[in-house]
Amino acid sequence: MGHGPAVKLGKDNASAYKTRIGISMFFVYTLAYIGYVGINAVKPTWMGVTFGGLNVATLYGIGLIVFAFVLALVYNHFCTAAEKRLNK
Amino acid sequence: MIYAQSPLAIALFCIFVAAVLGGSFYLGRRTTSSAGYYAAGGNVHWFTNGIAFAGDYLSAASFLGICGMIATAGYDGWMYAVGYLAGWMVALFLVAEPMKRLGKYTFTDALDSKFNSKSIQLMAAISTLVISIFYLIPQMVGAGTLVTPLLGLPHAAGVIIVGVVVTLIVATAGMASTTMVQFLKGGMLLIFSTVLVAMVLMRGLSTSPDHDGKRPYHDFQTIQASIAADGALQLSDPSYTFAPDWRNSALGEAGFIRLARNGEERIWHMTQDAQGGLILEETLYTATLPNGTRLYNGAPAEEGKFFPVGHMKELNLNGESVIQTGPVGPLAYLRTLQDSTMVLWGTRMVRDGDAMLTIYYQKPTPGSLVLRPGLRLKVENATATEKFNFISLMLALFCGTAALPHILIRYYTVPSQAAARKSTLVAIAAIGFFYILTLFMGLGAMTNGVINIMDNNMSAPLLALSFGVILFAIISSIAFATVLGTVSGLIVAASGAVAHDLMDNFFGMRMSDKGKVLAGKLAAVSVGLIAIYLGIVFEGMNVSFLVGWAFALAASANLPAIIMLLFWKKTTAQGVAASILVGLTSAMGLILLSPDMFVRYGLLPEQAPIAFNSPALISIPLSFIALVVVSLMTKRVEVPEAEAEAAEA
């Protein structure tokens, strides 16, 4: 039937570990996103509160984008380390 | 009418298309295997693939649509960007590596990897086709919108040019040339958007966006007025005249008045100031006559009476009222806008005799409201339905990215799971950075007097035009490449669904490797022709609107199946197929019954049987439930790994 990877992949002993931390980090980011959507849905006026001259809407929006990148870096760091450790 | 064709822009555009086609034919000569055609041989470097992800993902909706929406509706447009980016975290943490591990050429391969099920092959292929075509329509419509000002050609010509060029790109070399186009476009988009934002910040903000007299900006007039004791309207500027029965006309009832001066007629919006006095503000309007002729501010388009808009009413810098700021940093730019007042524009349709008028009137809005949600997406004092709509939209954006077939196939172009993960990381960095830039590009367009209020999709290219024709030419070519890159990816995904999933796997048509490549190319040409047809038929339809549908469809049809296959061991083949069927049909059904669709049927939104427009909050749970219930009712039959590998060989 022709399924399976287009290139031959080696065995990945770090797979289970990576899945575990992936799920944990997914929940962390999802909570941050739920907070963003939740404030808008339940207390939208909070989005207008200002800190340091910028309102929560701007800070939270930029924060979510920066947080995504930081989490992705951390995730990649742990995954790469696990691959080196477990796939010797 | 707002823009004139630039020979430089046309030349750059032609050079770009010729270079892409040349590269495509070159790569095409080397693409003879199906692995080369569908997955670029599986050997693309992770960094290249990450930027190509960005090139694939940052479609017309992201570049043109989001910038345009921010330019006219402020922060609400940017919420789409925040949701789109959040969706990449689902892709990175849950989907990237397993997709790479399980699949070969298409998303169907991954879903079907453990089952060899005809029902999965059929449902996943149909889902891929439907979602790709839904995503193709707005891209093609965007191409038509873009080509009109760039090359001075009609909408249909733009759609045909994109359709033919992209079909040639895909049909010659498949994923190899598609990757090249997306990489180039993604890289250029990031570089030149950064340049544009830097120039916006260097210019700063001003209450008169004529850029030190270098660019004419129409100064929209305001007239004081009062109602005399006898009920007559009195204007502070007596050189304007008006019809005595203005109050009894359809315009008067809608709060507008037609004033004439020096033989020119304009429509003015009547409002009250803080002291209760009457103020008349100049509007822009189009009139569609019974014979189909359209007039712009009372004159044909070529007379140039319809002006670009976008200016600040009050500018406050560090608590002081100023007329311009000079160069500012990015945070100071946002802070200053938040403390100032911008002029946004409302729209009103009025029937005036035989003519249908569309009137665009000024709505001065404090920056504190522009830079928070609520101008377009109703969140404050929202009804339960409005809240449902909002949450459902944000859920679709979050769940849709990791389920888009043309995004998922890019995981098969890299050599390993680690490369799949790293390319997703690069994509998140590139796309996140770009989305922060969109905020500045959108707000820059809002305050620099460049918006074509009838078609805000052109806001970013027109902002570039305010800095000179060279930047406009480059940004327009990139915008066009944006469409090329995304459409290429979609056509590869759709042709893979037809040739690989349906012809090869579902119908079991035994083909040689060359035969599979030929089938893919023929499928690409067929899908390309369908895309051209739909792009012409759907002219004028809102680009972001259709992309929102595609996200809702993908999130409902594909994501529950992907997630449960990966994380629930009792998932069966029948459960996966049922999940796709229920997700696809429920999302599609709810879209077709939505108030927005009823407007498109020519009916009233109130006649729609449901009150919401975004289906994800219902269709995603339904898809999950279908998978769980059917899986519990059926038995899991897995294909042994050895057998799968034998079949593969």
SS3 B537: helix
Residue of higher predicted confidence among B273 and B463: B463
| Chain A residues close to B109, C-beta within 8 Å | 2-4
Q: Does the beta-carbon distance from B116 to A1 stay under 8 Å?
A: yes
Q: Which residue among A4, A58, A69 places its CB closest to the CB of B644?
A: A4
Chain A residues in contact with B395 by the CB 8 A cut-off are 37
Residue ranges of E strands in B248-390:
256-261, 264-272, 278-282, 284-288, 294-296, 311-314, 316-317, 320-321, 341-352, 355-366
Residues B192 and B563: their CA atoms lie apart, in Å, by 37
Distance CA B234, CA B239 (A): 11
Instruction: Write the pLDDT tens digit of every residue in B69-124.
Output: 899 999 999 999 999 999 999 988 888 888 877 766 677 878 887 787 888 888 88
Classify residue B244 by burial, with Cβ atoms within 10 Å: 0-12, 13-18, 19+.
Answer: exposed
Does B646 score more than 90 pLDDT?
no
Are the CB atoms for B397 and B66 separated by under 8 Å?
Answer: no
Q: What is the pLDDT of residues B213-257, one digit of tens each?
A: 777 788 888 888 888 888 788 888 888 888 888 888 888 888 899
B391:A41 CB<8 A: yes
Cβ pair A3:B647 closer than 8 A: yes
Domain ranges of chain A: 15-86
Chain A CB contacts of B416 under 8 Å are 7, 9-10
Which residues on chain A are in Cβ contact (under 8 Å) with B432? Answer: 65-66, 68-69
B432 and A69 in contact by Cβ < 8 A? yes
Q: Say how far apart CA B389 and CA B397 lie, in whole Å.
A: 12
Instruction: Tell me: pLDDT of A1 over 80.
Output: no
Give the Cα separation of B385 and B38 in Å (integer).
Answer: 43
Report the relative pairing of strands B256-261 and B241-242 from DSSP bridges: antiparallel
- Indicate the domain borders of chain B: 7-204+381-648, 222-370
Q: Is the predicted pLDDT of residue B163 greater than 90, yes or no? A: no
* Residue B278 neighbours by CB distance under 10 Å: 17
Which two structure tokens, joined as six digits, stand for B152? Answer: 């001075």
B148-B150-B153-B155 Cα dihedral, nearest 10 degrees: -30
* Architecture of the B7-204+381-648 domain: Up-down Bundle (1.20)
Q: Which of A48, A62, A80 sits opposite B368 (nearest CB)?
A: A48
At B648 the pLDDT is: 43
- Looking at per-residue pLDDT, the higher value among B618 and B153 belongs to B618
The amino acid that residue B338 corresponds to is Q
Q: Which helix (H) or strand (E) holds B263?
A: none
* pLDDT for B53: 85
Handedness of CA B446, B452, B455, B457 (dihedral sign): negative
**In this structure, how many other beta carbons lie within 10 angstroms of the beta carbon of residue B355?**
16
Count of A–B CB contacts within 8 Å?
175
ipTM of this predicted complex? 0.91
- Rounded to whole angstroms, how far apart are CA atoms B261 and B94? 65
Residues, chain A = 88
Q: Measured between CB atoms, which of A10, A26, A55 is closest to B93? A: A26
**pLDDT at B487 exceeding the cut of 70:** yes
**Amino acid present at B420:** A
Q: How far apart are CA B476 and CA B456, in angstroms?
A: 14
Q: How confident is the model at residue B513 (pLDDT cuts 50, 70, 90)?
A: confident
Mutate to test the interface with A, among B417, B438, B620 (most CBs of A within 10 A): B417
Residues of B in contact with A4 (CB under 8 A): 102-104, 109, 113, 644-645, 648
Among left, alpha and beta (phi > 0; psi -120 to 50; other), residue B263 is left
- pLDDT above 90 as % of chain B: 25
Nearest to B649 by CA among A3, A18, A70, A27: A3
**Mean pLDDT across chain B:** 84
What local confidence, expressed as pLDDT, does residue B409 receive? 80
Burial class (CB in 10 A: 0-12, 13-18, 19+), B162: buried
How far is B211 from chain A, CA to nearest CA, in Å?
A: 27
pLDDT, one tens digit per residue, over B177-221 is 777 777 888 888 899 999 999 999 999 999 888 776 777 788 888
How far does the CA of residue B270 sit from the closest CA of chain A (Å)?
Answer: 30
* A46-77 CB burial, b ≥16 within 10 A, e <16: ebbebeeebbbbbbbbbebbebbbebbeebbe
B31 pLDDT more than 80: no
B82–A9 CB contact, under 8 Å: no
- What is the mean predicted confidence (pLDDT) over B506-528? 79
Distance, in angstroms, between B27 CA and closest chain A CA?
Answer: 19
Q: B449 — alpha (psi -120 to 50), left (phi > 0) or beta?
A: left
Is residue B285 helix, strand or coil? strand
Q: Could you give the 3-state DSSP secondary structure of residue B557?
A: helix
Residue of A nearest to B436 (CA): A62
| CA dist list (Å): B608 to B385, B592, B598, B613 | 14, 9, 6, 10
Rg (alpha carbons) of chain B, rounded to whole number: 26
- Report the alpha-carbon angle B164-B165-B168, nearest 5: 85
Q: How far is B314 from chain A (nearest CA, A)?
A: 18
Tell me the chain A residues in contact with residue B436 when contact means C-beta distances shorter than 8 Å: 62, 65
Tell me the C-alpha distance between B178 and B55, whole Å: 10
